[in-house]
């Protein structure tokens, strides 16, 4: 199965390897962030397969960027 799955809707689903590359966040840290409600959760593709909606990952990264810009150093 390809690492990135694209549906007919144009929505891209990102598998774990590409999620890690795109966000730069290791798997264990990502799952801790999800448990805290900070990071987007994946969608289930099958019994042992998940993927993340690319738009949700990008929105999450933009939100981090916005928060960073509001902090005064």
Q: Residue 1: its pLDDT value, please?
A: 46
Confidence of residue 70 (pLDDT cuts 50, 70, 90): confident
**For residue 24, what are the domain limits?**
4-70
Q: What is the dihedral of CA 18, 21, 27, 31, to 10 degrees?
A: -80
Distance of CA 30 to the CA centre of its chain: 9
Q: Residue 5: its pLDDT value, please?
A: 54
E-only strand ranges, 25-64: 43-46, 49-53
Q: Could you give the CA distance from residue 7 to residue 60 in angstroms, rounded to a whole number?
A: 21
Number of domains in the chain: 1
**pTM here?**
0.80
- Does residue 35 register a pLDDT over 70? yes
Q: What is the dihedral of CA 59, 29, 3, 11, to 10 degrees?
A: -20
Q: How is residue 36 annotated by DSSP? A: T
46-59, pLDDT tens digit by residue? 999 999 999 999 99
Q: Residue 28: its pLDDT value, please?
A: 96
């Amino acid at each position: 199965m390809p690492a990135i799955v694209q549906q007919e809707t144009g929505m891209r689903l990102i598998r774990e390897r590409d999620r890690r590359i795109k966000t730069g966040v290791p798997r264990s840290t990502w799952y801790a962030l999800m448990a805290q409600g900070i990071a987007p959760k994946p969608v289930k593709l099958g019994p042992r397969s998940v993927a993340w909606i690319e738009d949700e990952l990008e929105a999450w990264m933009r939100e981090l960027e916005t928060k960073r810009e509001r902090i005064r150093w």
